């Protein structure tokens, strides 16, 4: 049943959310339904789960996997940034738990025509929601090189961003960059020869950066964290699995700020913002997968789980 996507740290997620029968949980990235299935099993007989995903393929897979739970599962096509609107439309008030499993599913990576990976030649797409207007090819072929450099530097943490962006701009004057192989080739040629000794493929960070930009992932994460905290009941828990440092930093800072409450500058002698703590950080350090899980699912290696509790 994990053919669509192998869920990461299922046991750790269940423990982190502190689930019990009758609770209401939001899975903002339901994917193939792996975490959702475990959540529904652990909230039986009457727990409810709202599963959100922007990917229609994911929702189809989740619908099949979770059919046995009947009316206990509510599946919605959308982005987790729209959590507030979705819950309001479903007439659901406060919830007991929220899970976000960030990043790209195994299905998205392994389905060539989705264009997330340079391991197979495919159209340069990268849209999680394929109804979105702009694909990665649109960005690569239309943005000024300076904006491409900013995206690759800020979202990919790529120190060769300027060099790669200029190479892209030069290449597209001859012919559009339409496929994953086209782009990967341009990026590889932009690197000096010694880059061949890198641990990761030279195009990895550029592909990550474009995927984040195409799907507006970081802005959506910030909004989901803010709105989700407001929807949690006292004692409810918010768990997030991230896969790269940009996501993890946003989650860590959001949870810490919620615990601190005050957002005034450190040198201000008296609090002027009036902010009050509304969270307790449960995981001072992120939870990582064990060696056995990584051995069975190498893509889990970079996963980090953080949890906060509403007070």
pLDDT of residue 3: 56
Q: What is the mean pLDDT of the chain?
A: 93
pLDDT at 33: 95
Integer Cα distance of 287 and 285 in angstroms: 7
Tell me the β-bridge partners of 239.
99, 307
Q: Quick one: 131 and 171 in the same domain?
A: yes
In a domain? residue 2: no
Element holding 109 (H helix, E strand):
helix 106-110
Q: In the prediction, which pLDDT does 265 show?
A: 81
Q: Which domain holds residue 141?
A: 114-215
CB atoms within 10 A of CB 174: 7
The predicted structure's pLDDT at residue 1 = 46
Cα–Cα distance measured from residue 126 to residue 40, given in angstroms and rounded to the nearest whole number: 30
CATH of the domain at 58: 3.40.50.150
Q: Which two tokens stand for residue 254?
A: 């959001």
CATH number reported for the structural domain that contains residue 136 in this entry:
1.10.150.170
Residue 54 in contact with residue 77, Cβ under 8 Å?
Answer: yes
Residue with tokens 């910030």: 222
- According to the model, what pLDDT value does residue 195 have? 62
pLDDT value at residue 233: 97
Alpha helices (H) along 124-202: 136-142, 145-156, 161-174, 180-190
Q: Verify that 240 and 306 share a domain, yes or no.
A: yes
CA–CA gap between residue 231 and residue 234 (Å, rounded): 10
**Is 72 contained in some domain?**
yes
pLDDT at 148: 98
235 and 182 both lie in a single domain: no
Asked if 242 contacts 224 with a C-beta cutoff of 8 angstroms, the reply is: no
Q: What is the DSSP letter of 28?
A: T
Q: Do the beta carbons of residue 274 and residue 263 sit within 8 Å?
A: no
Find residue 73's DSSP bridge partners: 49
Q: Residues 217, 102: contact at Cβ < 8 Å?
A: yes
Give the pair of three-digit tokens for residue 62. 């989740």
For the CA atoms of the chain, what is the radius of gyration? Answer: 20
| Residue 5 belongs to a domain | no
pLDDT tens, N- to C-terminus, the chain (311 residues):
455 678 999 999 999 999 999 999 999 999 999 999 999 999 999 999 999 999 898 999 999 999 999 999 999 999 999 999 999 999 999 999 999 999 777 667 777 778 888 988 999 999 988 888 899 999 999 999 999 999 999 999 999 999 999 999 999 999 999 999 999 999 999 998 876 567 789 999 999 999 999 999 999 999 999 999 999 999 999 999 999 999 999 999 999 999 998 878 878 888 888 788 999 999 999 999 999 999 999 989 999 999 999 99
Are 100 and 225 part of one and the same domain? yes
Q: Strands (DSSP E) along the chain, which ranges? A: 24-27, 48-53, 73-77, 95-101, 232-242, 279-281, 304-310
* Count of domains forming the chain: 2
In a domain, 4, yes or no: no
| Final residue in a domain of this structure, among 215, 233, 254 | 215
Burial class (CB within 10 angstroms; exposed 0-12, middle 13-18, buried 19+) of 93:
exposed
> 210 and 234 share a domain?
no
Same domain for 177 and 128, yes or no, is yes
Angle subtended at Cα 64 by Cα 59 and Cα 67, rounded to the nearest 5 degrees: 110
């Amino acid at each position: 049943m994990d053919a669509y996507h192998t869920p990461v740290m299922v046991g750790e997620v269940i423990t982190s959310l502190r689930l019990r029968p009758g609770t209401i949980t939001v899975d903002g990235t339901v994917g193939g339904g792996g975490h959702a299935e475990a959540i529904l099993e652990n909230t039986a007989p009457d727990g409810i789960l709202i599963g959100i995903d922007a990917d229609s393929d994911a929702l189809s897979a989740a619908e099949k996997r979770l059919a046995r739970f009947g009316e206990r599962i509510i599946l919605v096509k959308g982005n987790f940034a729209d959590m507030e609107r979705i819950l309001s439309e479903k007439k659901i008030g406060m919830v007991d738990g929220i899970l976000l499993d960030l990043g790209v599913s195994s299905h998205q990576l392994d389905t060539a025509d989705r264009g997330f990976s340079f391991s197979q030649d495919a159209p340069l797409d990268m849209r999680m929601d394929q109804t979105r207007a702009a694909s990665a090819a649109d960005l690569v072929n239309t943005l000024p090189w300076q904006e491409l450099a900013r995206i690759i530097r800020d979202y990919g943490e790529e120190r060769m961003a300027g060099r790669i962006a200029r190479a892209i701009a030069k290449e597209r004057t001859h012919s559009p960059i339409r496929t994953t192989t086209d782009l990967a080739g341009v990026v590889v040629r932009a690197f000096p020869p010694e880059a061949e000794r890198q641990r990761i493929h030279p195009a990895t960070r550029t592909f990550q950066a474009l995927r984040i930009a195409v799907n507006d992932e970081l802005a959506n994460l910030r909004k989901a964290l803010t709105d989700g905290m407001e929807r949690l009941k006292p004692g409810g828990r918010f768990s997030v699995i991230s896969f790269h440092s940009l996501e993890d930093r946003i989650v860590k800072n959001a949870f810490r700020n919620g615990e601190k409450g005050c957002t005034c500058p450190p040198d201000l002698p008296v609090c002027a913002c009036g902010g009050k703590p509304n969270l307790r950080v449960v995981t001072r350090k992120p939870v990582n997968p064990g060696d056995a899980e990584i051995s069975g699912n190498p893509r889990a290696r970079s996963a980090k789980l953080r949890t906060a509790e509403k007070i």
